[in-house]
Amino acid sequence: MSLFCREIKPVILVMKSLATLLFSFCLALSASAQLNYGGEPSNWSDKRFPDHLSFLVMPELNRAELAAEDAVVDQYKEAPWRFGVEHEVQLNPSNAGSWSQASGKAIWQLGITCPEGTSMSFLFTNYDLPKGAELFIWSADRAQFLGSYNHINNSESGVFPVGLLQSDQAVIELSVPEALKSSVVLELSQIIHGYRSLLRNDFSEVDEERGPFGNSGACNINVNCPSGADWQIEKRSVALIVSGGSSLCSGVMVNNTAQDGTPYFLTANHCLPSIPANVANWVFYFNHESAGCSGSTGPTNQSIAGSVLRARNANSDFALLELNDTPPSSFNVQYAGWDKTDNEATVTGAVGIHHPSGDVKKICFEEDSPSQQNQAGAEVWYINQWESGVTEGGSSGSPLFNQNHRVIGQLYGGFAACSGNVNNGQADWYGRFGVSWDGTSAATRLRDWLDPQGTNPSFIDGYPDGFVAAQIDAAVGSLSGIPSTVCGNTVTPTIQLTNNGLTTLTSCTINYQLNGGTATTIPWTGSLAQNQSTTVNLPAITAANGSNTLTVTVSNPNGVADENATNNSVQVSFTAFTGPVFEATINLTFDDYPEETSWRITQGALVLYTSPAYDNQPGGSSLEISVCLPEGCYSFIMEDDYGDGMCCEYGEGSYLVTNNLGQTVASGGTFVTSETTQFCLGGAGLDEKSSLGFRIYPNPAQENIQLVRESGDQASYVVTDGTGRIVKQGMISGASNSLNVSDLPAGYYVIRLKQNEDFNAKPFVIQR
């Protein structure tokens, strides 16, 4: 990259009129890039231009010199395909741009011009916005904008890359509450000046549409051509990596044994920058593909900014990253399955999906068995020659799938390329996934990250959509009907039975087992074609009090052995309260940022309830949640992961917890990171009879508790804290007594009474 980086000093051009614009585009692109959070720039509907706004003008580019450099470098597969020049700058609200005010907010704007540029993108290396600030980047003709970006985009590295804006003039706009103006940390360190034509095909004398990041040779095959029909699931896992002014490499989202959608991304070790932490600068573009078999244009509006390096090893040329954000459901991303067996005899063919020279997504086919070799010190799969399609520079790091649609490697290098409309018949090689699996530490191997459960499978299928090219393959999917906490001793689970095999599934055996006990067998018969599913209801199961684990396994499909045992079992753990239970109610009113809110109910170290993610909950909305618990005392923990509570600067958020008597036991909203309140359910506060009947009130207490007994005979009492330590004791007489607890700290306690030979105990909470 250093060959193409230039130290550029911008000059200032004051513009008060935009009557003429230097650049316009035929290509229609969405105005969104990496994850943004809605809204629009100030006065967006007013097309008049602010008089105070000045533009920094980047120097004109030496197109002849760039073309000469590109003619050389574009020939090498290991080199990134460059589409822009990186101008190094140090611009921030203190030394550039101008401030104004509108609607109680301070607005900073900075205009930038890249003469005759085809695109613009930006890199911030000091990005730390306070809550309430919003960042937009918009084209000077007000045709499109990127953003808003806000405090949710903050990261530990402070790095935030933004792209791609199809314009040669842009305005960076920061809106922040006036009181938080001094809290802004924002520095622009790089402006990427796009210069490659969006309309000219560098591999042909005929002009045709091309993508913004590059264009590949004529022998490449669009992934949406008929030959790619069987690979429409796997294609969703492949993404293009852009760094600065170059389309750097390709890579693939990979599944892990927890199947939890952790955004792990596999690419090549040689794609990494000289400073590995700089992967925080990378932008990952998903679904950049032509809609059909022809054309070289595709969406650029589905991207994730930044990542963290988790593991790397040159021995198989792999690098595993974790993206800063999980791709949202709208991206429809697939997490590819993989095969670590590294058995040459079982691989009968291979497919590569990639972004050659930064182009839209392509596919290539190896119809023979690849061999295992050592290439320049790396353990690789050797592709002697592609039967159709090819790879190029920018394809590095892209996945190699075996005939079962599982990743077995990532592109290391090779000499394969187009020779006119056909490939040149040369070889490629891919670092082997099976070699990458093991290493000397978590930083040099895959297994710590992709097998967090330590199950050590030979292979797994993709997530959320698996693909197994087996004749006989019965799979047990979701196990539902069992909440994480069960009130009572009976559960009635259901499972999803799926036929992943090519042969119609007509019978199988379903086994279920609770807590490692005796397995119960259920025969199933029916008719399921490939990829069809049915719901199977299991009989009611009697749970044990406390922790339970239910395991369901499917076997014996069509009376024979299952050819894929990796999807035959599913397991769920839950807690059951089989005795008397009581209900508590949680009422939540969210502030403007519901995604920051969470809560838990615990008893000691045991977490009994935990909230779901509230990412899709509207700001200012309310929810009511009911939970059931046995008699006892618990902790309710309210949390805000940004550290500003639920009220009141960004909405009037609050929470309220009531016990089984309708009494308020926890409430609030004004806190920092978390707030913990102890509360009790059941006997504490109820007039329940036992061998020694008594009740206590109020509960929770502050200064005193009242003891009301059926008998006025003399009795002894002992008060213990949550650890069982005696903190108060004495004697009482009479039917009603007041016990002073003002000397005890807030927390959970138990009072035990003894009267002659009768005993009883009740929990209570001191809350202040």
String of DSSP letters for 302-361 = -EEE-EEEEEEETTTTEEEEEESSPPPGGG---BB-EE----GGG---EEEEE-GGG-S-
Residue 541: in which H helix or E strand, if any? strand 541-542
499-515 exposure pattern, b = at least 16 Cβ within 10 A, e = fewer: bbbebebeebebbbebe
151 in catalytic set: no
Q: What are phi and psi of 111, to 5 degrees?
A: -95, 145
- For residues 269 and 309, is the Cβ–Cβ distance under 8 A? no
- For residues 651 and 700, is the Cβ–Cβ distance under 8 A? no
- Which of 70, 74, 168, 317 is catalytic? The answer is 317
Integer Cα distance of 720 and 730 in angstroms: 12
Number of Cα atoms under 13 Å in the Cβ half of residue 396: 24
Q: What are the extents of the domains in the chain?
A: 2-194, 221-450, 472-575, 581-681, 694-766
- Per-residue pLDDT at 78: 62
DSSP 265-295: EEEEGGGS-SSGGGGGG-EEEES---SSSS-
Architecture in CATH of 581-681: Sandwich (2.60)
221-450: CATH homologous superfamily?
Trypsin-like serine proteases (2.40.10.10)
| 272 contact partners, CB below 8 Å, separation of at least 6 | 279, 309, 312, 319
**Cis bond upstream, residue 273 (ω within 30):** no
- For residues 81 and 246, is the Cβ–Cβ distance under 8 A? yes
- Per-residue pLDDT at 18: 27
| 211 contact partners, CB below 8 Å, separation of at least 6 | 288, 296, 297, 298, 358, 359, 360
SS3 state of residue 178: helix
- For residues 525 and 558, is the Cβ–Cβ distance under 8 A? no
**In which residue are the tokens 């697939």 written?**
334
Structure tokens at 155: 């990261």
Q: Torsion over CA of 92, 95, 96 and 98, rounded to 10 degrees?
A: 100
Structure tokens at 90: 């140090």
**In which residue are the tokens 């902790």 written?**
635
- The whole-number mean pLDDT for each consecutive block of 10 residues of the chain, a chain of 768 residues, reads 30 31 28 65 80 88 90 72 89 94 90 92 93 93 88 87 87 94 94 68 35 73 91 96 84 94 96 85 92 82 91 96 93 96 90 92 93 92 95 92 95 91 92 96 96 88 79 84 85 89 94 94 93 89 89 96 84 84 91 93 85 88 91 88 91 91 87 89 46 82 90 87 76 92 85 83 82
Q: How many CB atoms lie within 10 A of CB 495?
A: 22
Number of Cα atoms under 13 Å in the Cβ half of residue 94: 8
Q: What is the pTM of this model?
A: 0.62
Q: How many residues are recorded in the chain?
A: 768
- Which of 357, 396, 436, 635 is catalytic? The answer is 396
Does the 472-575 domain belong in CATH 2.60.40.10?
yes
SS3 state of residue 63: helix
**In which residue are the tokens 């450099």 written?**
69
Q: What are phi and psi of 276, to 5 degrees?
A: -55, -30
Question: Of 2.60.120.10, 1.10.540.10, 3.30.70.1350, 2.60.40.3080, which CATH number belongs to 694-766?
Answer: 2.60.40.3080
- For residues 348 and 369, is the Cβ–Cβ distance under 8 A? yes
- For residues 256 and 338, is the Cβ–Cβ distance under 8 A? no
Handedness of CA 297, 299, 301, 305 (dihedral sign): negative
Q: Torsion over CA of 725, 730, 732 and 736, rounded to 10 degrees?
A: -40
**In which residue are the tokens 């005696």 written?**
726
The residues with which 154 forms a beta bridge, in sequence order, are none
Q: In a 10 Å sphere around its CB, with 0-12 CB exposed, 13-18 middle and 19+ buried, how is residue 681 labelled?
A: buried
55-76 exposure pattern, b = at least 16 Cβ within 10 A, e = fewer: bbbbeebeeeebeeebeebbee
33-44 exposure pattern, b = at least 16 Cβ within 10 A, e = fewer: bbbbeeeebbee
Three-state SS string across 418-455, please?
EECCEECCCCEEEEEHHHHCCCCCHHHCCHHHHCCCCC
Q: How many CB atoms lie within 10 A of CB 372?
A: 15
- Which of 87, 193, 270, 354 is catalytic? The answer is 270
Structure tokens at 689: 């009879």
- For residues 753 and 716, is the Cβ–Cβ distance under 8 A? yes
Query: What number of H helices and E strands is found in the chain?
Result: 3, 59
Architecture in CATH of 2-194: Sandwich (2.60)
270 in catalytic set: yes
Query: Do the two domains 2-194 and 581-681 of this chain adopt the same fold?
Result: no
| 151 contact partners, CB below 8 Å, separation of at least 6 | 129, 130, 131, 132, 133, 642
